[in-house]
Amino acid sequence: MSYSKEEFEKALQCEERELFAIIGYENYNDIGASPPNIDRLIDLGQSWYKKNIVSLTKIICQSKIMDKVKSDHYSVELCIIIADFLFDQKIDAPIVPVVSLIVKTGIKSICNDSL
């Protein structure tokens, strides 16, 4: 696994725009082009997230992972539980900002809304 507790601690302190910019940068970087300005990176990250959040939510919410979620309060431990699960799903974006956005939104509320 390519993430650490410290990475999640840092990511949970970031604003959503920063996390979207990281996702946008990683996706843009994968095509080998020079990164655009920060606003474009944020747009790219938001676009990726909107496109993929439904499938990610379905994967998470229909799994046994929700048995481990005691509250909707976000924490590093919750991020690691979800990241360990999603790591096996091989998502095409950096796992730390994606999981951090999901956790900051509230995993229980996301699952309740999607079921």
For the segment 38-57, the average pLDDT, to the nearest whole number, is 92
14-23, 42-51, 55-64: least confidently modelled range? 55-64
The dihedral region occupied by 32, where left means phi > 0, alpha psi between -120 and 50, and beta the remainder, is left
> Do 41 and 54 meet the contact criterion of CB atoms below 8 Å apart?
no
- Report whether pLDDT(3) > 60: yes
- State pLDDT tens for residues 72-85: 566 888 888 888 88
C-alpha to C-alpha distance for 11 and 25, rounded to whole angstroms: 15
80: containing domain: 5-114
For the segment 81-94, the average pLDDT, to the nearest whole number, is 82
For the segment 32-50, the average pLDDT, to the nearest whole number, is 88
Task: Count how many domains the chain has.
Answer: 1
- Report whether pLDDT(41) > 90: yes
Q: Which of 89, 77, 106 is nearest to 16 (CA)?
A: 106
